Structure 1
Amino acid sequence: MAHDGHHHHDEDEGSELSPIALRVKALESLLTEKGYIDPKALDVLIETYETKIGPRNGARVVAKAWTDEAFADWLKRDATAAIASVGYEGRQGEHMVALFNTPETHNMVVCTLCSCYPWPVLGLPPVWYKSMPYRSRVVIEPREVLKEFGIALAEDKDVRVWDSTAELRYLVIPERPAGTEGLTEEQLAELVTRDSMIGTGFAKTPQ
């Protein structure tokens, strides 16, 4: 397993929640008490950004890599520049590395000390990505964690776990599903899931 060492982090390593997250949580509680926001509506909004709006950027990058060999090569050499060329750059995406899944290798991403995540391409991190069980177990028993996500890999397939840091973030390029040869980039992007770009899932197969 690949396991990169941490340097310093943006988040507070001594707490499950960073100081900013704690302030946001306090503000949310106050606004809820005063009746200004509906927690259920807020949950739906956050879920939408986590699973639909946010990951669309990354899905477009993956679809372009599947259809454009030159772009895929650029991603392998300099993911930050390649991703920026299609308009996705900014804070927490300054230094990117693209990890290409192959028939022989499956890549997974974690942040063992906090929740470093490539916001420009994946949006908001899911709750489970920030949880201690995922952060601690995925580097020890990645295959078992994958099974809990419904992913069973062949025993001879190498599983590599990559540890994100404040300085370096990863984007998994999942394997292109079979039977998609005639699809456009836009259609292919619809098959790319957030979890497939973290490594805890596969791209969807066409209906």
Structure 2
Amino acid sequence: MADHDHHDHAHDHPHDHGSELSPMELRVRALESILVEKGYVDPAALDTLIDTYETKIGPRNGAQVVARAWMDPAYRARLLDDATAAIRELGFGGRGGEHMMVVANTPEEHNMVVCTLCSCYPWPVLGLPPVWYKSPPYRSRAVIDPRGVLREFGVDLPATTRIRVWDSTAELRYMVLPMRPAGTEQLDEAALADLVTRDSMIGTGLPLSPEQGVRA
């Protein structure tokens, strides 16, 4: 079983969203420094490009999947039964998404995704993994203190809500289907997709409300 069930945790621990760089990340950082020093790369433009793929282009694919599931009960059923095939229906797939499983939040249960061994992540639907997802503090504490970690992300769930943590691997990667926000009955699929955040599909956040979506 690839999940861990938690109800309450008596202890809170400091949570650092920083990460320890792997050997590959150190090599990438060194190469980036050389390119910047020689004037081949504008660091501001590079940061913008990375942010675009990490928070905008990549997660938009997953947001379309979620919005379709909110709108179409038949698609939702297919998504929960065979996520890989259902996601492919919308044209998304490939490396990092060969074997997908989607888990749905309910009023009684909240799902959260982690990769305890490294940083396995569903690139085709969520884009680049955020730095904190790869950090040792998140990878360890998501399993032993998920409720505390969620609070630090601003998600304070009722004590009665069961939290289930899913451990992604190279063979199977998870995505959360968040609950549809209240007051969105009149929104079309595109407007619903605008409410879906990357963190809500990892389980460390919630979708935006219609009011938040308008402000954004």
Tell me what 1:154 maps to: 158
How far is the alpha carbon of 1:18 from its aligned partner? 5.2
How far is the alpha carbon of 1:44 from its aligned partner? 2.0
Tell me what 2:41 maps to: 37
Alignment RMSD (CA, Å): 1.4
Which ranges in structure 1 are unaligned for 5 or more consecutive residues?
A: 4-14
| Structure 1 residues 92-122: Cα deviation after superposition (integer angstroms, max 9, x where no partner) | 1000000100000000000011100000000
Equivalent of residue 17 in structure 1, options 22, 43, 59:
22
Equivalent of residue 146 in structure 2, options 138, 142, 153:
142
Which ranges in structure 2 are unaligned for 5 or more consecutive residues?
A: 5-19, 212-216
How far is the alpha carbon of 1:2 from its aligned partner? 1.7
Question: 4+ residue runs of structure 1 moved beyond 3 angstroms?
Answer: none
Tell me what 1:94 maps to: 98
Asked whether 1:70 is paired with 2:71, we answer no
- Equivalenced residue count is 195
Tell me what 2:136 maps to: 132
Tell me what 2:107 maps to: 103
How far is the alpha carbon of 1:43 from its aligned partner? 1.4
Give the alignment's TM-score, normalised by structure 2: 0.87
Alignment of 1:169-184 (within 5 A): 169-184=173-188
Equivalent of residue 168 in structure 1, options 145, 168, 172:
172
Give the alignment's TM-score, normalised by structure 1: 0.91
Sequence identity (%): 68
